[in-house]
A and B are shown apart, each in its own frame.
Chain A
Amino acid sequence: DSGVTQTPKHLITATGQRVTLRCSPRSGDLSVYWYQQSLDQGLQFLIQYYNGEERAKGNILERFSAQQFPDLHSELNLSSLELGDSALYFCASSTLGRRAAVEQFFGPGTRLTVL
């Protein structure tokens, strides 16, 4: 158990719909990352938040958005869903401190199926 929790575990929805994925980081971790894993693309970084502020952006579509709340949990919002958005979505957290490099701890993921 990494200490990172994600809900829901599975989500089945239809094209054109909007969903919200939730992530609670490990206690004390200020940084949250979102990754997408699809069969043809592998694990891809989407976006990073640090203490409520967006810190880095990857290959995140304009239809997707995220935020990190004051209690440090994060939500990933996916809208106007397409079949190709079907994937595993992972959240990871890390603590940024004086150490030069810190490991990321991943949650169990949310499997999104768009029909």
Chain B
Amino acid sequence: DAKTTQPPSMDCAEGRAANLPCNHSTISGNEYVYWYRQIHSQGPQYIIHGLKNNETNEMASLIITEDRKSSTLILPHATLRDTAVYYCIAYFGNEKLTFGTGTRLTIIP
């Protein structure tokens, strides 16, 4: 799996958009970019994934650069419940997930 690099921590004001960056410069052509989050000690929660195109679902948007070397997860209107550790993972699919250290996002009231 390609290595991903994320900032260790970020803050975001409640109600604002949270933009979480991820670098994956060695990602291969058939590796997807997956995002998970872990709220406190709960089980990781799937957020979104994409291959080349930008993706949006009810939780978030995923913007992948044209060269696929980086991506940004966007939480459009952050709430206090979005405080969590966010993991960006390069993933072929149908196999183990390799979690890094992620970004600890704190939503500030």
- Which residues of chain A have a CB within 8 Å of any CB of chain B? 2, 4, 31, 33, 35, 42-45, 48, 56, 58, 88, 90, 92, 94, 96, 99-109, 111
Stretch from B3-11, B13-21, B36-44, B69-77 at the A interface: B36-44
* Size of the chain B interface, CB-CB below 8 angstroms: 24
Across the interface, do A100 and B96 meet the contact criterion of CB distance under 8 Å? no
| Residues of B with C-beta under 8 A to A106 | 43-45
Across the interface, do B43 and A45 meet the contact criterion of CB distance under 8 Å? no
Across the interface, do B49 and A103 meet the contact criterion of CB distance under 8 Å? yes
Across the interface, do A101 and B32 meet the contact criterion of CB distance under 8 Å? yes
Query: Given A2-B45, A106-B43, A108-B42 in contact, is the A101-B101 Cβ separation under 8 Å?
Result: no
Q: 1/0 per residue B45-66: CB within 8 Å of A?
A: 1100101000000000000000
Task: Classify the interface of chain B: helix, strand, loop or mixed.
Answer: loop
Query: Given A2-B43, A43-B44, A109-B41 in contact, is the A103-B34 Cβ separation under 8 Å?
Result: yes
- Which residues of chain B have a CB within 8 Å of any CB of chain A? 30, 32, 34, 38, 41-46, 49, 51, 87, 91-101
Across the A-B interface, how many residue pairs have beta carbons closer than 8 Å? 64
Across the interface, do B99 and A58 meet the contact criterion of CB distance under 8 Å? no
Most B CB atoms within 10 A — which of A35, A58, A106?
A106
| Residues of A with C-beta under 8 A to B51 | 101
Across the interface, do A102 and B94 meet the contact criterion of CB distance under 8 Å? yes
Query: Given A45-B97, A48-B96 in contact, is the A109-B46 Cβ separation under 8 Å?
Result: no
